[in-house]
Chains A and B, each alone.
Chain A
């Protein structure tokens, strides 16, 4: 042992001697050959200097215009926001038809309430909405005029309300925060307060825009934020405030009289801006003048609303996708004017050769059921099965035959107007429900509901209760994307219907997309995911 230690000592001495001699030389040689500072040289791209921190103001007018005339089109799509609000409810189903519409189950899971945090639609919707919130904040920080600020606040509130409604929390990034800052996260009630403040503080500076009663313009100025639009949105949000403030997102909910009175107050304010009901229900969705459209999409068209449901053998050739459920369809009386306009292929249609000839004349409005017709009056034939095309009541979620499922057409390819985001019919229904829930109004809930029904040419109801109110809202606003809100508010979202057997109450909120969770540690996943 001693010997070994001695040897080791000698060895170390000898090594250190050698290294003392070699190292300086070696180090010099090595330092001399350190021939690069490792700076990257860009030969095929441009380096953009620092985006972190700081904020450069843009042109608020141009930025606002871009939001109205480009970004808002996201709401006209059949996917994303629209899909989350409709397929998860009992008014619509996206069946898989043979090898079509499988798409890895993204559609079916929405109906079955079995989506998860990696669902593509859940992610894309989150990204779209939050990006719009950030864009609106950038406008607000770009030295806008008072009206521009108010408009940007309205747009921010609209998008942020969608986020808080769908996901329960809202991430928020200040415009001058760099990439190294993780966005802070607002709770649902914090976000609600933020949204209400944005809307209420913008009311004074928003312009008054009345209904477009000029045939020449398709909804004219109604593509911009207005006092009426803010009031309409506020009526919707106050109606749901009890949901957003509940300890458990799945309820029970309490709706305070004060909030209900706010709903009524804002609904009345919309009327004060000149809006009223249209006597022709399907006229609302056309480009001709009407007094119901408060806010419509300034870009995109309503075409996806017919493509998503029409059969590929119809004109226009659709994607043969979404249909309604027989149970939902059965909520209508056959004489309800909202169920159809009596056109070809709709409920109870009897053939009349005079109905045909024009482009798209083979399509009626409302629910399409039974035999379908071509523009020349001939029966439509399914090009794949070579059988007459007849829409059936039954529609399985998987393995659906090509003709299964009742379709609905509110926007018609022959005369569709802009895609509607807010309309007066809903505002009045909000008021009626608020009164039913204890708000103080000058008329009763039943009177308002009957007023809406008769104004469309329909029959009155003898009475109305909560169930009746939920059904009536469904009949008035089917396929407009409010059904999910209604089912949750009435506690009917977590029951079984059709092939949805999942009654998990946590489904009232969508999960925070897993990608968002991993990129922002401030986010906490919602219960149940």
Chain B
């Protein structure tokens, strides 16, 4: 160590001694356009002496006369110039022709794209989707083939479903692994779901909302097993690696501001007051119609939906020096309003990334830290409201003749089963504060030139508190039990404290014409999660603030059940892993990768704690061969195979465990539960769910790489599916977690194409498109699992999907609807039973098309995405848009009137409510203009931009939007369920957003 230190010192001193000899100045420009290249590195070859060009591309440097200067900048080929007797050296840099030199992040390192044997989609910041963005997934929606990203609803920050190369698990836990700056995140939610007393429950928000999208430099999606196997047991659903921005080049300060305006894209076509009354009268009689006539006309959609304003401020500054030391700080504030009144998400984030080298660049210390505070103001839009409906259900079914308020100014509240939507908003408060910090700290030491050791410590800590109060003035199920204005309150806290420690060696050597890259390491990760939940009722006040902030306003003396501990929990799980990867590149023609990861997890019993996940990948760069036709600028063949795992199951379900069960405060104020009960039963054989994947691919480039892309084929087989099964009697245990003897097979093709249609100095037009086809099927399964619980009146026990052999996951299982008979009763030509209809909620085809145009200082892009071949089941229509519902005095859409249905008809789960959901959406149009600020010395650049999101959707789906996924699982126990997909049940409606902004760099 001492030796290196001295060596480093002498080098630095030496360099400074020689440096006095001569002053060189000059300008670095783009050789093609002549534009200045700011931030370019100018280094004296063989030393650390150097500088960076300023905004005008200019530099000054003192060097020895025998020096050689190296000019370099990202995206350009470096250039060496011998100083000789020159004192002004102007250099024109050529764009790097080697497109393949692009690096992709692969986990525990990065490789040149040409050396990657796996299927990896890399999306850089400049290709991200713009506009109002709540979470990182939205940045890459539609950008990568085979990556299906579905926003579960239109609420700011709502959950997002990502399926990489299809859906392969029968549990929740189909989302990929997210790795942020080297820290693999836990898959759990970090904030609480919602309890809306008697109105259903809410899914938690997207746990990735804490990341500021503007901090992200690139998102790399590892799709096949040869790429994901390095993440072993957590790689089966693919891996999304998020890399945040570092400072680059000369110090620079960026500020941007954007303003977004959102409004609902499509309202429901409901009956107006007079239409409603006459339709009601047709089913009942005039006398009955008179009793429900409130005598006015209220458009409940207009009462609740609004034009929402979103604002984002973004400030960052950073830079790097020639040695690579860099720093970047950023601050952001965003306030995203939802289009439902009172709903918003506010986020403040701070990030500090830096990296500094010591000991003559042998030791590099890097830190990457972010802290975010997210506040969500919720509205009672839920997943599983029953007969009463949630806020959206009540907007739909509320009697349009009823006024919002009575003459005396109080809310017009008819009954607890027909709540007033406006009162639901105004007489409740529900918000979540989440603070989450994520940091990774690493030290890398270069032991030998070719060998380095890196140690990474990561911490992911969050605290989230949700508080909900419903005033006793509000009439909903549960707020006024027995006519007493008791009100309801709820607090839920979730604390997460996850840590990571990783140590690995990297070996990087070129030997002859063979490059070797090897990684071997150890990883330890600890997941610590705790929660507590309280419920309250019998408030002595109906004032919301007092209820929230003076909880002693509950009347415990009057009723000891006024405050109920629902429960608390704390679980700790650990993951300990050993991994290695070796990559050989022989003559730049043949690339071989082998990866093994052994993962040990506390989630499995002693015999099965460890799982071993191997993979192999190979690549042949045909275009490097002498015989390769010159038309190919790139032609590579890839093949890979590997096994990855899935362990996303609850804590310790392999031993029999008992807990005091949750207390439940029901809608009548009664308390039940609290008994000591079993939460898990013994299954020592429980083991990993495994996915083996085989894939082959071609990467191609023609016409000097103006036309480039890739084609991939994959076959993914998931076995030993982890699931909680109800034991069939006679059994010792009522249920047990098992590895299901079944396979889920995903087979598909992916095509990616990019074409520089026009590429002149003034005008550039690039087309890029991707299309993916996936076939999903359950095989070798002799059981059947029902899911997609359907809610509504007379729909007890109803479900719409079944997992069974020979069908895609979540295949629709419905009655075949054949219209109504002469009595208005549903006809089921195949019989009154559910059957597979051949429809699936999983798209068979996903499409993304982007056009990017640049003309002088203008740039523009427009982006379409689409999904095809799937269907959506409308639980919304099933529960609310029926003759029976209308006859009971609830509003319906106009198409219900005169559709031939009798009010005596039972709206059973059938294909009547199933619709094709193919859609093509103009998701994003961006326009930008770089204002010429060359006359203003203190401004680096100034840019104004406008973005339109969700401008139109072409679809036959009659619901609010075809991109919907309400969480409708079949619940097996308090922490186990079979998920559903593609059900539409009163989702938060989707908005169209226009954003205007300005970006200034100093």
Contacts and interface: CB of A to CB of B under 8 A. Distances in A.
A28 to B, nearest CB: 11
Interface in B684-716: 684-685
Contacts of B909: 104
A96 B910 CA distance: 15
A386 B524 CA distance: 71
Contacts of A40: 572-573, 602, 651-652, 655
Interface in A117-176: 117-118, 120, 126-131, 133-134, 137, 171-173
A38 B527 CA distance: 12
B906 A520 contact: no
A400 interface: yes
Contact of B729 (A33, A41, A97, A134): A134
Contacts, number: 244
- Residue from A33, A109, A128, A180 whose CB has the most chain B CB atoms within 10 Å: A33
A506 to B, nearest CB: 15
B656 interface: yes
A34 B522 contact: yes
Given A11-B516, A40-B602, A51 B802 contact: no
A434 B783 CA distance: 42
Given A36-B524, A179-B683, A106 B797 contact: yes
A386 B587 CA distance: 90
Interface stretch (B236-244, B346-354, B505-513): B505-513
B903 A516 contact: no
Interface string B853-895: 0000000000000000000000000000010110110000000
B728 A513 contact: yes
B20 interface: no
A98 B501 contact: no
A154 to B, nearest CB: 18
Contacts of A520: 728
A105 interface: yes
A42 B786 contact: no
B451 A22 contact: yes
B60 interface: no
A22 B505 contact: yes
- Residue from B652, B732, B784, B903 whose CB has the most chain A CB atoms within 10 Å: B732
A331 to B, nearest CB: 26
A39 B656 CA distance: 15
Contacts of A117: 784
Interface in B772-819: 781-784, 786, 790, 793-799, 802, 815
A41 B572 CA distance: 7
Interface string A181-224: 00100000000000000000000000000000000000000000
Given A7-B514, A48-B657, A112-B831, A39 B729 contact: no
A517 B825 CA distance: 36
Contacts of B569: 44
B969 interface: no
Nearest to A46: B658
A515 B728 contact: yes
Interface in B30-72: none
Interface residues of A, number: 81
B795 A102 contact: yes
Contact of A47 (B657, B731, B741): B657
A48 B511 contact: no
Contacts of A51: 656, 681-682, 732-733
Interface in A8-67: 8, 10-11, 14-15, 18, 22, 26, 29-30, 33-36, 38-52
A99 B728 contact: no
B659 A46 contact: yes
Contact of A33 (B501, B512, B793): B501
Contacts of B655: 40, 47-48
A398 interface: yes
Contacts of B790: 104
A519 interface: yes
B512 A7 contact: yes
Nearest to B567: A44
Contacts of B834: 104-105
B823 to A, nearest CB: 6
B571 A98 contact: no
A484 interface: no
Contact of A36 (B576, B578, B657, B797): B576
A105 B884 contact: no
Nearest to B782: A518
A104 B514 contact: no
B730 A183 contact: yes
A48 B658 contact: yes
B682 A50 contact: yes
A171 B729 CA distance: 8
B934 interface: no
Given A50-B682, A515-B783, A104 B799 contact: yes
Contact of B730 (A97, A130, A400): A130
Interface in B740-796: 740-741, 781-784, 786, 790, 793-796
- Residue from B514, B609, B683 whose CB has the most chain A CB atoms within 10 Å: B514
A32 to B, nearest CB: 9
A440 interface: no
Contacts of B786: 118
A131 B451 contact: no
Contacts of B576: 34-36, 38
B675 to A, nearest CB: 13
A30 B578 contact: yes
B383 interface: no
B732 A103 contact: no
Contact of B823 (A33, A41, A134, A399): A399
A99 B511 contact: no
Contacts of B501: 33, 35
Contacts of A178: 732
B597 to A, nearest CB: 13
A112 B815 CA distance: 14
A401 interface: yes
Nearest to A171: B730
B793 A99 contact: yes
A36 B884 contact: no
A101 interface: yes
A127 B726 CA distance: 10
Interface string B146-164: 0000000000000000000
Contacts of B902: 399
Nearest to B287: A386
A399 B728 contact: no
B564 interface: no
Contacts of B726: 127, 515, 519
Contacts of B570: 43-44
B782 A517 contact: yes
A127 to B, nearest CB: 5
B950 interface: no
Contacts of A22: 451, 505, 507
Contacts of A18: 450-451, 507
Contacts of A34: 522, 576
B980 to A, nearest CB: 15
B430 to A, nearest CB: 26
Interface string B644-657: 00000001100111
25 contacts: A7-B511, A8-B514, A14-B509, A36-B524, A36-B574, A36-B600, A40-B655, A52-B684, A96-B906, A97-B906, A98-B884, A98-B887, A102-B798, A104-B798, A114-B832, A118-B784, A173-B731, A173-B732, A179-B682, A398-B905, A399-B823, A399-B824, A399-B906, A519-B731, A520-B728
The 3 closest A-B pairs by CB, nearest first: A518-B783, A516-B728, A130-B729
